Amino acid sequence: MHTDLHRYQVPARPTLNLDDGIDWHFHGQYRQTLITEKNLPNYLLLPEVNKLLDNMSGEHFSRAEFIWRTGARISEALAIKKQALTFYEERGEQRAIVTLRTLKQRGKPKATDIDRTRDIPIRDHDYALTLKRRIDTLPGRSRETPLFIPCSRQAFDNAIRSTADKLNLMPTSAHVLRHSFACNLVLHRRDVFLIQRLMGHKRIESTLIYMQLLDIDMAFLLDGVQFR
């Protein structure tokens, strides 16, 4: 039914570069302890997310990468429209801004929540270009055109879960990818208030849960701090 909605072909993903100074093996070893003792939600580390995405294809891959890159809730990703993306160039590099309408998954939305939006900058040239090419190939001129071919949450989650199972990754869903986005920002030492804004959390307490990731890194965080 939706086969002609998009003519876009997913391009090959660039080679992953893990030269970022983060000991992923170390964090992988302590993850289960954090999940069990600190009540952290399930999350994947950057190398695992890229392994997952490398083994997905088509629209499920595109949706999964979008959530990983933006931290969108599954409801927000499935509802995203053409008009939500703005593109610009910066020093010859393609950039994008994704405007997400904050949609709660649980409970009845309040009147003050209906028009809440947040802007997610896309600083990666390749991914911004991927989004622009997708927009350029969408049929028609309507800004209400969906960014992705419509599908059910269950079908999308099942595609992610089955791929993760085949790769022997922890139980994974679209919401786990959202948690992984937040954890990735924490591990890259981004400010907690920035993470709150990008995640669309109304209360800072929702964001502080992820900051427990730094508990195992506490000694390293004090390296270089001068006291005399």
* Cα Rg, the chain, nearest whole Å: 18
Q: H-helix or E-strand containing 115?
A: none
pLDDT tens, per residue, the chain with 228 residues: 444 545 545 555 555 555 567 889 989 999 988 898 888 999 999 999 999 999 999 999 999 999 999 999 999 999 999 999 999 999 999 999 999 998 764 445 455 554 589 999 999 999 999 999 999 988 877 889 999 999 999 999 999 999 999 999 999 999 999 999 999 999 999 999 999 999 999 999 999 999 988 877 666 667 778 788
Q: Whole-model pTM?
A: 0.86
DSSP helix/strand/coil, 108 = coil
Instruction: Determine contact, residues 68/54, Cβ cutoff 8 Å.
Output: no
